């Protein structure tokens, strides 16, 4: 394999863990040593997070879904039932000190003030490790849970999300970093001129502000996004710090990677500001034979239903097909080769790992693959900072209101919704 640039200016591989308590394989919860009841055991969730923090992962990812269906027990049991992610994220923050905490929140069924408040609070509790996974929601059944007559089409969801992000970002900036002074001698608690109304009046939202939580320690909470549509690529290139994308093969992944970086430049961003991390499911053993045996045992544990093929195809995260480009099965060197090829040829800046079963496949990756990646100079051996932005090599953004007397608008200048705010 090609050796990456070892200099400080060289790229660094980034890794996250998608936490699904029963694993991302449909039969992961049945694998020996796995936990079937881990979704509601916060001690278990904290233990898994500390384990990947010890391996210097960038973040733990908590997904969310606003509907459920018992039929998921056969195809996607981890998504059938789980804790609300902000609650779990706060508990993770209390048990860890370095790893980023990515929380999914769907703007289609939230309001901007609430999202801004929740993430600012989590960023304070975690000392700068919060991250918002922005999804617009493709699950039409969610509408019926939120008193909506119908689920909006993709265009309306993205129009809403564009302005939603503007408002949230402005609210995060509504307190300047040094607004609170708590001066016992003078009795002055706050410098009023450093707390700003955002006065946003747009197509969908009218929000005065300021937020009732001070500015997040990161300034702007790390924003994640996933999707491959044109609108999704645009919002990702404009707003996201991390993008999840599932390329069906390495060639298409390279095309996607290049397209996102080019779009980012059109919005005045450096390509280095965005990290593209596809999902990757890994089954690793000491030997290839051992890894294949694990894969085959997982397959054998799939439930018997009317169509076994349907279960196989519906089980998100399966890495069982040897030529499936979003999963790899092999020994540590083979898995590292796969990761290195995607990284060096700029199909990815790293990966969001989908563990087939938990905790076994997580432990196998950290114990077998991580040392191999470190030996090759691809992956960190220590954290170099304490915030999620630090792990990504991103500076804390300046506050849009600072040194302006609060005269700027609350909307992002990059956003098409900016012109609609006053």
Contact (CB, 8 A) for 287 and 331: yes
Q: Are strands 279-284 and 350-353 parallel, antiparallel or unpaired?
A: parallel
Average pLDDT over residues 244-254: 89
409 — pLDDT class (breaks 50, 70, 90): very low
* Domain spans of the chain, in order of start: 14-420
Q: Are strands 14-18 and 188-190 parallel, antiparallel or unpaired?
A: unpaired
303 — pLDDT class (breaks 50, 70, 90): confident
252-293 per-position pLDDT tens digit: 999 999 999 999 999 999 999 999 999 999 999 999 999 999
Alpha helices (H) in 8-84, listed in sequence order: 42-54, 72-75
| Phi, psi torsion values for 401, nearest 5 degrees | -90, -15
Q: Record the tokens describing residue 97, joined without a space.
A: 């000190």
pLDDT of residue 48: 98
168-196 per-position pLDDT tens digit: 999 999 999 999 999 999 999 999 999 99
Q: The whole model's pTM is what?
A: 0.90
227 — pLDDT class (breaks 50, 70, 90): confident
Three-state SS for 335-393 is HHHHHHHHHHCCCCCEEEECCCCCCHHHHHHHHHHHHHHHHCCCCCCCCCCCCHHHHHC
Q: Are strands 200-201 and 188-190 parallel, antiparallel or unpaired?
A: unpaired
Mean pLDDT of the chain: 90
Assigned architecture for domain 14-420: Alpha-Beta Barrel (3.20)
């Amino acid at each position: 394999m090609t050796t990456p640039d070892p200099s400080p200016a060289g790229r660094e591989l980034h890794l996250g863990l998608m936490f699904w308590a029963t694993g991302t394989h449909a039969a992961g919860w049945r694998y020996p040593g796995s936990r079937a009841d881990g979704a509601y055991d916060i001690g278990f969730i904290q233990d898994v997070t500390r384990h990947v923090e010890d391996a210097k992962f960038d973040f733990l990812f908590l997904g969310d879904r606003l509907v459920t269906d018992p039929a998921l027990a056969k195809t996607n049991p981890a998504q059938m039932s789980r804790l609300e992610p902000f609650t779990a994220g706060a508990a993770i923050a209390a048990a860890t000190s370095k790893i980023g905490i990515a929380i999914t929140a769907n703007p289609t069924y939230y309001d901007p003030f609430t999202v801004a408040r929740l993430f600012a609070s989590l960023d304070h509790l975690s000392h700068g490790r919060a991250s918002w996974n922005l999804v617009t929601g493709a699950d039409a059944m969610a509408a019926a849970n939120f008193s909506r007559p119908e689920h909006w089409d993709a265009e309306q969801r993205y129009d809403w999300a564009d302005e939603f992000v503007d408002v949230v970002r402005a609210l995060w900036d509504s307190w300047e970093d040094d607004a609170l002074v708590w001066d016992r001698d003078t009795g002055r608690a706050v410098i009023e001129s450093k707390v700003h109304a955002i006065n946003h009046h747009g197509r969908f939202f009218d929000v005065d502000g300021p937020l009732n939580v001070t500015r997040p320690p990161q300034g702007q909470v790390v924003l994640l996004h996933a999707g491959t549509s044109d609108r999704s690529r645009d919002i990702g290139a404009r707003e996201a710090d991390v993008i999840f994308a599932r390329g069906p093969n390495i060639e298409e992944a390279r095309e996607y990677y290049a397209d996102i970086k080019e779009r980012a430049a059109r919005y005045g961003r450096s390509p280095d500001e965005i990290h593209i991390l596809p999902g990757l499911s890994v089954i690793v053993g000491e030997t290839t034979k051992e890894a294949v045996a694990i894969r085959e045992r997982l397959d054998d544990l799939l439930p018997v239903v009317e169509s076994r093929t349907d279960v196989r195809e519906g089980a998100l995260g399966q890495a069982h097909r040897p030529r499936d480009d979003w999963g790899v099965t092999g020994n540590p060197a083979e898995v590292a080769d796969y990761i290195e090829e995607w990284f060096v040829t700029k199909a990815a800046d790293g990966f969001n790992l989908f563990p087939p079963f938990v905790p076994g496949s997580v432990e196998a990756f950290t114990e077998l693959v991580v040392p191999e990646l470190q030996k090759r100079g691809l992956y960190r051996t220590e954290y170099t900072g304490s915030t999620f932005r630090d792990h990504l090599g991103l500076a804390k953004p300046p506050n849009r209101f600072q040194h302006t007397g609060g005269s700027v608008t609350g909307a992002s200048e990059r956003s098409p919704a900016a012109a609609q705010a006053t």
